[in-house]
Amino acid sequence: MRAAAVGINGLSFSTLADCNPQFLSYLFNASPRGVVENRESFAPDGVWKRILGDNTFEQLLSQNVLLSNIPLANPTYGRPSLNMQLISLQNELEAMLETISTYSDKYVVVFSVNAYERDLKNKKDPCELMSLLDGYLRKAYELLDSYMFFSPYGFYENRYEPYGIYLSTVPRPSEEETIKLSQILDLIKMLGQP
């Protein structure tokens, strides 16, 4: 079974509503969904430390989870490791597809998309960025049997939002509650279960 989780730092419900991306809009109607809640910090390294807890690359690899492009440092943590300041969003998304294509039959691939938030902060057109992201997430979806697309927080019009998206083949733990960062790794591990 091919499985992957793609975290998109800064992807907000507000931008989704403004830009109405075709594929993500389809997934909102066709898959289990929820809201990721994060009120503590919006620094990507701190957010991902809370998601991963004390787990190392090697520990997670032994549990069939491959970390890829995680923004704990620059260059990023895991395989592949990319320079967050130099890589374009398109090249990062191509690396995401290549990693998923190469490894998702052996591991649950966990890939962080970081250039999206950087480009938003650099005042690039959010709907153009969303359109590019939407197309690549569709391609990733077509490679996978089990998926999770999530954002640990949103970034909209120069401000952070404490809520992010959650779209996955794994339903959220409780229909009435938001998903906390500390729950995401357990949900990721469920992606690889038959």
Question: What is the C-alpha to C-alpha distance for residues 126 and 129, in angstroms, rounded to an integer?
Answer: 5
Residue pLDDT, tens place only, 113-169: 999 999 999 999 999 999 999 999 999 999 999 999 999 999 999 999 999 999 999
Q: Residue 178 has what DSSP assignment? A: P
CATH number of the domain residue 163 falls in: 3.40.720.10
Please count the structural domains in the chain.
Answer: 1
**Domain range holding 28?**
3-191
User: In sequence order, what DSSP letters do the residues of 52-97 get, joined into one string?
Assistant: HTT--HHHHHHTTEEEESBTTSSSPBSSS---TTTS-HHHHHHHHH
pLDDT score of 1: 87
Residue pLDDT, tens place only, 62-118: 999 999 999 999 999 999 999 999 999 999 999 999 999 999 999 999 999 999 999
Q: Which residues, 6+ apart, have CB-to-CB distance to 94 below 8 Å?
A: 136
pLDDT band at 175 (very low <50, low <70, confident <90, very high): confident
Between the alpha carbon of residue 48 and those of residues 1, 7, 28, 40, 147, the distances in Å are 25, 10, 24, 12, 18
pTM exceeds 0.85: yes
